[in-house]
Amino acid sequence: MKVVVAKKYARLKGWLHALPTRSAAGEILREGRNTLWCERVGDEEFVVKRFAVPTRFNRWVYTFFRPSKAKRSYCYSLRLERLGFAVAEPVGYVECRRGLLFHTGYYVSRRVPHPTLADIGCERPLRQLEILDAFAAYTVALHEKGVLDYDYNPGNIFYYRENDAWCFALIDVNRMKFHRRALRWRECVEMLRHLDWRQPHLDVVLVRYAERRNWDWKILSGAVLLKQGINLPVRIRRFFKRMIRRQ
């Protein structure tokens, strides 16, 4: 077993070490291929993510060639913080082996006491527009810093108000790439396609995003819809209807 803990949370090393020896405790947040739950330690709340046991081939990959999802979650969170982007504060990770091969991993972060963008519909209409406009600016900032997130969906992004501005924090960050340059067009489209909002939320973000990049919003919207590829004929018709109405 390998246990890595941030210096700030060194006192929790024993608790992390015990995670593989017991069942999930506390509030279950998600149960399926991966299990996500919240535990309270003293007066602090932490979220534990237990990753599913990978295929035998991937067990070899994670043992010898590629960092595990647990390690990537921890390291990528630290890297995002260094770039100036908020995340669920990383606490540590655990890697377990069976025999010589990697078996499963655990990632632990502080619980974020804010709603995700999947719940933005609960806000007043004018506030929704404010949040979406700020989120478009935030996405541009990510892209200009070279951050490519393959899980960039509303359920993985918290929003909150701080210093009279809307702010955002990322979770589930193990599927990312970091470039030393701004993202190219196709990379931006690839990331934006994961925003699985229904219109008009997606429209607002794409229009505001395009304005900040001095891009044609119609071309950007069409490219994102094509990439999403869900109910493609319907989406294409809706796209052209919206484009005609904006003429």
Query: Are 127 and 152 in the same domain?
Result: yes
Query: Are 99 and 148 in the same domain?
Result: no
The per-residue pLDDT for range 116-150, each reduced to its tens digit, is: 999 999 999 999 999 999 999 999 999 999 999 99
Select from 16, 99, 100, 66 the least CA-distant residue to 174: 66
Task: Select, from the ranges 32-36, 110-114, 243-247, the one with the highest average predicted confidence (pLDDT).
Answer: 110-114
Query: What ranges in the chain are assigned the alpha helix state H?
Result: 13-18, 56-64, 69-83, 125-144, 185-192, 201-213, 217-228, 232-245
Domain that holds residue 84: 2-110
The per-residue pLDDT for range 14-43, each reduced to its tens digit, is: 999 999 988 877 788 888 889 999 999 989
Partners of 30 in the beta sheet? 36
Percentage of residues in the chain having pLDDT higher than 70: 93
Phi/psi of residue 59, nearest 5 degrees: -65, -40
Query: Are 6 and 101 in the same domain?
Result: yes
Residue 243 has pLDDT above 90, yes or no: no
- Whole-number pLDDT of residue 197: 86
Query: Are 75 and 174 in the same domain?
Result: no
Query: Are 232 and 130 in the same domain?
Result: yes
Q: What is the DSSP letter of 175?
A: S
Say if residues 159 and 120 touch (Cβ distance below 8 Å): yes
Q: What is the mean pLDDT of the chain?
A: 91
Query: Are 122 and 84 in the same domain?
Result: no
- Whole-number pLDDT of residue 230: 55
Averaged pLDDT, 152-178? 96
Pairing mode, strands 165-170 and 147-149: unpaired
Query: Are 183 and 234 in the same domain?
Result: yes
Phi/psi of residue 11, nearest 5 degrees: -65, -15
Burial 196-225 (b: 16+ CB within 10 A, else e): ebeeebbbbbbbbbbeebeeebbebbbbbb
Q: What is the DSSP letter of 22?
A: S
- Whole-number pLDDT of residue 245: 53
Query: Are 166 and 51 in the same domain?
Result: no
The per-residue pLDDT for range 166-208, each reduced to its tens digit, is: 999 999 999 999 999 999 999 999 999 999 887 789 999 999 9
Distance, in Å, from the CA atom of 193 to the CA atom of 32, rounded to the nearest integer, reads 24
Residue 54 has pLDDT above 80, yes or no: yes
- Whole-number pLDDT of residue 232: 54
CATH label of the domain that carries residue 55: 3.30.200
